[in-house]
Structure 1
Amino acid sequence: MKYKPDWEETKRRFIAWWNHSKIDRPMMRVIARLEEPIEPLEPVEPPKTPEKFHLDVERKVKELRNFCKTHIFLAESFPSLSMNIGPGSMATYLGSEPVFSWDTVWYKPCINTSWEEWGPLKYDENNYWWRLHLSLICRAKELAGDDFLVNIPDIIESLDILSALRGAQNFIYDLIDMPEVIKSYIREIDELYFKYYDAMYEIVKDKDGGSSYTVFAIWGPGKTAKVQCDFSAVMSPRQFQEFFIPSLSYLCGKLDYTLYHLDGPDAIKHLPAILSVKDLDAIQWTPGAGKPDGGSEDWYPIYDMVKKSGKSLWISIDEGDFDDWVRKADRIVKRYGADGLYLLFPVMDLEPARELIKKAEMDWR
């Protein structure tokens, strides 16, 4: 890979992490700024609309190339391109219309009458947004060549997509009023997920079948994905066990490598159920707005549970200065060891980046 010459070594470290092990230190994402570009930068015209901001693949590729020319990917960081139609684009493939803003994409509920009137969820190969998304991924892969990876996009799955199609408030009542109907739709959407995922995977997979997933800086030597249920924030543990755990078990059983996105304090109550899914490989914890970052000791009870379950940890350390990052990482490694540990740091200057890696190689073994 042009901008990641030690990519083969990085892949070996990812494989060790998925297997809850290590090679000689924790997995680490470390990206450093360069003082001067390694190649001339390409001119990039700023997007004029939010929709263009999200969907202009030519501009996004230029921006990534410029980033690669002004940064170096150290440790297990790697260059990759994301082409998302927001966080949950499967909703658009099934009838929802996206609403673009500069920082995200929302989805208009489309099941406004009842599930019975809407009927079964069906794969439509001619859906406008599905065909557009496929074309964007194909074009991204064509432009990327062997210079960087193209990520599987954040199509999302299961209850979060059903909630987007129906509207969260209506969906809350549906779980109570028509549980068996909703369970049948969950089964339908679980099958549809792989129609969409597999098509994307076939485009972006590397020559050995490996793939990377958007946003979370993960690669695996097979079908790799982040899985989630943000809707769980308004569910009781009983509902979560009844409606989502069978879906999660099914998804993790068919995917090769899975990272669960545990989002915010209201999701913590579901962690024991999540950890019971044997085919789930790793946990990523997002503390939420106004909370300390992943390096805080406040979250050690969560990490204790994850490590006890035998699954791997994904921890982002991003608050404070460089010395704060090192102190937090040092405490985490001393408590949990380096096996199955992935630490992600903010972009930094080259000298501290090298110092951080040297520290890891000497002390975090």
Structure 2
Amino acid sequence: MGANQTDRIELALKPDLADAEAHWLAFWEHEIIDRPLCAIRSPKDGVAGVAGPPYMAGRAGDYRAVAEQALAAAETIFWGGDAVPCYSPSFGPDLYAVWLGCELEFGDVERTSWAVPCVEDWLANSPIVLDPDNPWWRKTLAFCAVLAETFAGKMLVSHLDLHGNMDALLAMRGAVGLCMDLMDVPELIDQAMADVRATYATVDLAVREAGNMTAACGRIPVYHPERTNTIQCDFAALIGPEHFRRWALPALEEEAAHLGRCIMHYDGPEMLVHLDDVLAVPEITCIQWQPGAGNKPFIEWMDLLKRIQAAGKAVYVPCNTTNIRVYHRELDPALVYYQCGAPTQQAAEEALAWLKRNT
């Protein structure tokens, strides 16, 4: 169910938000209005480009400066079609485990960060809880609040890259330790997963409140006037179906049910053994297939994209104004989300017009 007309937000950087919202609501219902869902961005006519903040900007606490830079960059972008202006804060991919007690370390060149494994014995670390006074948790909420204040009426704060479920256990224990624990102490993993799963709704809602996310953009930029985000379990690439169904799948089902509708990040061929289980989750509406390093390019996975669509799920398709025509010939337009880049505003507008003429 969408937002009422009286609740609908307005964004200065997206004057046609109502039209985009209509396309998004149709997408979530696997329906189509006049073209497939297409979020297309390009440089904005008549303005000089401004670089956005680098990855993990804000770690020093300079939230206002980062927010102002993100807004300045967004003002130079044409947010075409169903693209919604937004910015997702991040201190790195392992932040969930850091909120649950790990230390956070940054690389020398500040291109990434990681959680320092903090669990040697699950019993000694039980129960796993979210400490509201955890310094990185407080920083996360403060950052979101400053972004929301700076962006008010202009753009949205996107949700975070939440690696909960087994990904959080992976960061807390390390890959070798966790894989051994699945075999040696499965009952302790049952409890650890129950603890981590119990934090998800609290984390999600607290971040939404801090970022004033009355309308939602996911970490992968999907939009809904109420609630959505990206879910994932990258650790699933290391385990078989039995372990996946025992530990990962129930967590993903809970996360998806909490969100109501979501996109799942699905990374690499090793994950395909679990695909049928994932496709059976009702609230997982769309799959973002990521082929992974060293594998054939995205456009050569057309059979997989069609398999996902045949199961009634949408597919996320990164594309440009040229190859979007290839995908459009091959894929069901009601079950696709095009994330498209264009060299100019005119090219973006022409691509949208082409989709309408050819749908």
**TM-score computed with the length of structure 1 as normaliser:** 0.88
Show CA shifts across 1:72-93 (max 9, x none): 1111112112111212311111
- CA separation in 2, counterparts of 1:43 and 1:226? 25
2:79 to 70, 73, 77: 73
- CA separation in 2, counterparts of 1:142 and 1:272? 42
| Residue in 1 that maps onto 2:313 | 311
CA displacement at 1:310 relative to structure 2:
1.0
| Residue in 1 that maps onto 2:278 | 274
Q: Which runs of 5+ in 2 are unaligned?
A: 1-10
CA pair 179-347 structure 1, distance change in 2 beyond 3 A: farther
1:136 aligned to 2:131?
A: no
Question: Could you tell me which amino acid in structure 2 is paired with residue 135 of structure 1?
Answer: A
1:162 aligned to 2:169?
A: yes
Q: Matched residues, percent identical?
A: 25
| Residue in 2 that maps onto 1:89 | 95
CA pair 170-66 structure 1, distance change in 2 beyond 3 A: same
1:107 to 96, 115, 131: 115
Show CA shifts across 1:295-353 (max 9, x none): x1x312321221122122211126xxx53x2xxx2332233221021111224222322
Question: Could you tell me which amino acid in structure 1 is paired with residue 301 of structure 2?
Answer: W
**What SS does the corresponding residue of 1:342 show, helix, strand or coil?**
strand
**What SS does the corresponding residue of 2:123 show, helix, strand or coil?**
helix
**What SS does the corresponding residue of 2:248 show, helix, strand or coil?**
helix
Q: Which moved more, 1:139-148 or 1:273-282?
A: 273-282
Task: Indicate the RMSD between aligned Cα atoms, in angstroms.
Answer: 2.3
| Residue in 2 that maps onto 1:36 | 46
CA pair 247-53 structure 1, distance change in 2 beyond 3 A: closer
**What SS does the corresponding residue of 2:341 show, helix, strand or coil?**
coil
1:263 aligned to 2:267?
A: yes
| Residue in 1 that maps onto 2:5 | none
CA pair 211-253 structure 1, distance change in 2 beyond 3 A: same
CA contact under 8 A between 1:57 and 1:83: conserved in structure 2?
A: no
Aligned pair count? 347
| Residue in 2 that maps onto 1:350 | 345
CA pair 22-50 structure 1, distance change in 2 beyond 3 A: closer
**What SS does the corresponding residue of 2:114 show, helix, strand or coil?**
strand
Question: Could you tell me which amino acid in structure 2 is paired with residue 350 of structure 1?
Answer: Q
| Residue in 2 that maps onto 1:117 | 124
**What SS does the corresponding residue of 1:281 show, helix, strand or coil?**
strand
**What SS does the corresponding residue of 1:13 show, helix, strand or coil?**
helix
**What SS does the corresponding residue of 1:344 show, helix, strand or coil?**
strand
| Residue in 2 that maps onto 1:199 | 206
**What SS does the corresponding residue of 2:263 show, helix, strand or coil?**
strand
1:186 aligned to 2:193?
A: yes
CA contact under 8 A between 2:151 and 2:157: conserved in structure 1?
A: yes
- CA separation in 1, counterparts of 2:316 and 2:342? 17
CA contact under 8 A between 1:160 and 1:229: conserved in structure 2?
A: yes
CA displacement at 1:66 relative to structure 2:
2.4
CA displacement at 1:249 relative to structure 2:
1.4
Paired residues for 1:276-315 under 5 Å: 276-294=280-298, 296=299, 298-315=300-317
Q: Which runs of 5+ in 1 are unaligned?
A: none
CA pair 237-60 structure 1, distance change in 2 beyond 3 A: same
Paired residues for 1:30-69 under 5 Å: 30-37=40-47, 52=58, 56-69=62-75
- CA separation in 1, counterparts of 2:348 and 2:284? 31
- CA separation in 1, counterparts of 2:60 and 2:23? 32
